[in-house]
Every structure is written in C-alpha cells, then in structure tokens.
Amino acid sequence: MVWRSPDRAGVGWEVLADPKILARRVACWLYALTKAKDGPFAIALAGGGTPRSLYALLAEPPFVDELPWSRMHFFWGDERFVPPDDELSNFRMAREAMLSHAPIPAANIHAMPTTGLTPEEAAAAYERELQSFYGVDLLDPRRPLFDVVLLGLGADGHTASLFPGAAALKERKHWVAAVTDANSVARLTLTYPALESARHTAFLVAGEEKRAILNRFRKGDASLPAARLHPSGMLNVFADAAAGAAPAKTDAMVTQHVIAVEHIRIDSTRTFAEVEARLERALPQIDPAIAEALALGDDARARQLEGDAELFIFLKRDHGAMLLAAGKARKAAQYEIGNPRTATMMTRHRLPAALYAPLRVVLYESDAGGAMFEYDKPSTLFGQFDDEQVRAVANDLDAKLDRVLRRAAE
C-alpha cells in the first residue's frame, strides 16, 4: 500500500504490511540507489529495532552478494556515549547485524568515537572525520555529504539524538554535537546541517505506538525535531501498517474503467550489456535545457536543442532490485523513453496523458543468456482517452519505439 501525504509536501510515503516487508522494501530501494551511482557511496546509519531488521537482511543473500560493499562508507547519525562493545551501542548493533557479515573494508566504517575522549571532544573529532571524507569544512547544497541518511522517529518526535528542547536543535554551524537524553545519558548526534546534506533521506517507522507521532509528523508539526528536518534531496517515509496506516477519513471519489493494453516483448540473442549499449548509443539522454525551453513556451528553441533525435532517454533505473526482492539476481534496467515536445503537447491537450509520457520500457537478461525488451504499446495506452490528436501521436510513437528497440536487439 502506497500513499502520499496531503499535508507535508515533497515527502514520499510508503506503508508496508509488516516490518519484514518494510525491511525488504527498503533493502531493494537502497540497492537500487547504490547501483545508480558510481564512486563512493556514503550512508548514515540509524539505531533501533527497525533498522536492525534492515541491516540483517542486507547481510544475507542475495543482497550481501550484490551490494558494492567496497565503495560503501558507513557513518552513524547518532550514538550513545558508551564503549563500542556495550549492548546499548548503535555501532555494536550494526556490526552484529550487518558489518561483520559483509566484505566491507575496515577504512570504510566510520564509527563515532566513544572512548578516551569527553563527549565534546568526540563530537569535534567526528566532525573532523566527516569533513576529511567530504574534502572541505563547508557544506555545499549542490554536493551532499551523504548519499543516504537512515533515520528513526522517537515517540517524542526526536530523530537521531535531536530531542525536543535541546540546544542542538539550533546548531547550524557544527556538524556534530554532544547532547544528553531524558535519562541524562550522554550521546553524540549529527546536527541538522549534516543530516540535511543528503541525496536521499528515509525515516523507518514501525509499531502501533508510533502511529500518533507519525501522524503529527505527517501534518508538519514544527514542534517535533523530526518535522524540522528539511533534506536537500529526496525525503521518504517507510512505515509498517501499524504505524502508518492512512487516515480512514477521505474526501476522494474513485472512478475506474477497464482498457485493453497490448504488451510487446522483443527477444535478442545478444547479451544484456550489448543491447543496453546499442540502445544507449541510439538514444541520447534528455537535455534539461529542452524542458526549460518548453516551460518558457519557446518551442523553436526546444526543437533546435532536440536536433535530429526522435526519442530520448528521460531516465534509467536499475531494475535488478525488483528481481532481488524475489531472490533472483539478474541484470535489468527500466527506461523512460519519449520525446519532450511530444510529451508536453499530449499532456497539455489531455492532462492524464502524463501517466504514460514518457513511456516505460524494461530491458532484462533472459534465462538463455540473451536479453529482451518488454513494454506496453503506446497506442493502446493512449487510446483510452478517445482523442484523435493524442491517438495520432501515439501511433507515431508505436513506430518510432518499435524501430529503435528492434535495432538495438538485432
């Protein structure tokens, strides 16, 4: 079950049936993000029972065999100021659940120091370590510190170790702070500037006892430290049904109708890598300047930027994560393919056409070692709108898409 908050804009919400399914969904999400980026991949880990289930899953096949451990760097969002082998240590939990079971270089594990220093000295030392990894001591919104930040949500609305009323909530200069919790236990925590410097941020929330506080977070209650977090990148909430069931009251009216869709498969004896390369040589990546020109109503400029290209790749996702969820490791990619001027025209003419503009095409390895494309025929998708102009464009897309995919597969 997936729903999007009507209150806090820009947040992706997913509600999964139970904690086990939640952990698997987040594992697949994380796997896809690691495959979509080259080079170092930095993660800030969270403590707690829900993240522990995720970490244990990542340390098992197929994830442990597929994740790029050698280039993944692990940091912590917060830590109790206890020795690393203490049962309350977030580091110990992550080590026992995941780190000791995966081929991670020791230099890639960046635990918070909790021995031989005062909490304040430890906070300063960890800030220096973060800055050394980042390369400079000033965060640039265009270059996030972390690729992923994992967070929990406390019953009082805290996240990491940013508690209600704490002085650290006002910290905008330092990246790490020493704090104490309600039980006067010393802790280290990343501050808002560091936590917000992330390409992707995910709250993992499970349990009926979290339902009330998650609903307040959903409504943007600014008294909650978690709700005051505004990451520079994408923010997602993954919750189980006990914590995050959508409110029962709804003002929505649902209508539905059935359409016949023609599904097409194109098989190739070429390898996945060969077909992938041939397709990406044939289709250019979309130039953001085209969209900017269209937004300004400058169709002539958009046409000039397009050149001779008929179709473009809008987006490519590593679709292997979906297969990993089923326990099968196989190369797969999902493409969004289309023409920006065509997509804009169709959407302006019939707004629901945006559902299919651009079009989705999946490429994956076949059981025989070859490759195959699968997609839904454009004219059968757009035909539901019963519009002659949209249908004419869709028929043209049929021919163009068939031509480019067959050439890549030949």
CATH top class, domain 11-244: alpha beta
Instruction: Please state the φ and ψ torsions of residue 224, each to the nearest 5 degrees.
Output: -90, 125
Residue 405 has pLDDT above 70, yes or no: yes
Residue 299 has pLDDT above 70, yes or no: yes
Count the Cβ atoms, other than its own, within 10 Å of residue 95.
Answer: 18
Residue 212 has pLDDT above 50, yes or no: yes
Question: Model confidence over 304-361: pLDDT tens digits?
Answer: 888 888 899 988 888 776 666 656 678 899 999 988 877 766 665 566 666 667 889 9
Q: Which two tokens stand for residue 234?
A: 């994408």
**Distance between first and last Cα of the chain:** 40
Conformational region of residue 135, where left means phi above 0, alpha means psi within -120 to 50, and beta covers everything else: left
161: pLDDT confidence band, cut at 50, 70 and 90? very high
Average pLDDT, the chain: 88
Lowest average pLDDT, out of 164-168, 190-194, 388-392, goes to 388-392
Tell me how far the alpha carbon of residue 132 is from its chain's centroid. 26
Tell me how far the alpha carbon of residue 139 is from its chain's centroid. 21
- Torsion, Cα of 31, 33, 38, 39 (10° steps): -80
Domain edges within the chain: 11-244, 263-409
* Environment class of 386 (CB within 10 Å of its CB; exposed 0-12, middle 13-18, buried 19+): exposed
pLDDT at 379: 86
Contact by Cβ (8 Å): 110, 90: no
pLDDT at 245: 75
Cis peptide before 62 (omega within 30 of 0): yes
Tell me how far the alpha carbon of residue 136 is from its chain's centroid. 26
CATH architecture assigned to 263-409: 2-Layer Sandwich (3.30)
Count the Cβ atoms, other than its own, within 10 Å of residue 135.
Answer: 9
Contact by Cβ (8 Å): 311, 399: no
Q: How far apart are CA 373 and CA 276, in angstroms?
A: 10
User: Closest Cα to residue 130, out of 72, 176, 62, 188?
Assistant: 176
Token look-up 């709250």 returns 203
Specify the pTM: 0.65
Question: Model confidence over 94-120: pLDDT tens digits?
Answer: 999 999 999 999 999 999 999 999 999
Q: How far apart are CA 287 and CA 218, in angstroms?
A: 35
pLDDT at 268: 95
H-type helices in 5-150, by residue range? 19-35, 49-58, 63-66, 90-97, 119-134
* Environment class of 44 (CB within 10 Å of its CB; exposed 0-12, middle 13-18, buried 19+): buried
Q: Is the dihedral of CA 221, 227, 230, 231 positive or negative?
A: negative
Q: How far apart are CA 23 and CA 326, in angstroms?
A: 14
pLDDT at 339: 84
Q: How far apart are CA 29 and CA 23, in angstroms?
A: 10
* Environment class of 131 (CB within 10 Å of its CB; exposed 0-12, middle 13-18, buried 19+): middle
Residue 297 has pLDDT above 80, yes or no: no
Question: Model confidence over 254-270: pLDDT tens digits?
Answer: 555 556 788 999 999 99
Token look-up 């197929």 returns 62
| Mean pLDDT of the region 138-164 | 96
Question: Model confidence over 114-144: pLDDT tens digits?
Answer: 999 999 999 999 999 999 999 999 999 899 9
Q: How far apart are CA 341 and CA 346, in angstroms?
A: 9
Residue 238 has pLDDT above 90, yes or no: yes
In the beta sheet, which residues pair with residue 104? none
Q: DSSP class of residue 173?
A: S
Residue 152 makes CB contacts below 8 A (sequence gap 6+) with: 46, 47, 48, 50, 51, 159, 203, 204, 205
Instruction: Please state the φ and ψ torsions of residue 153, each to the nearest 5 degrees.
Output: -130, 115
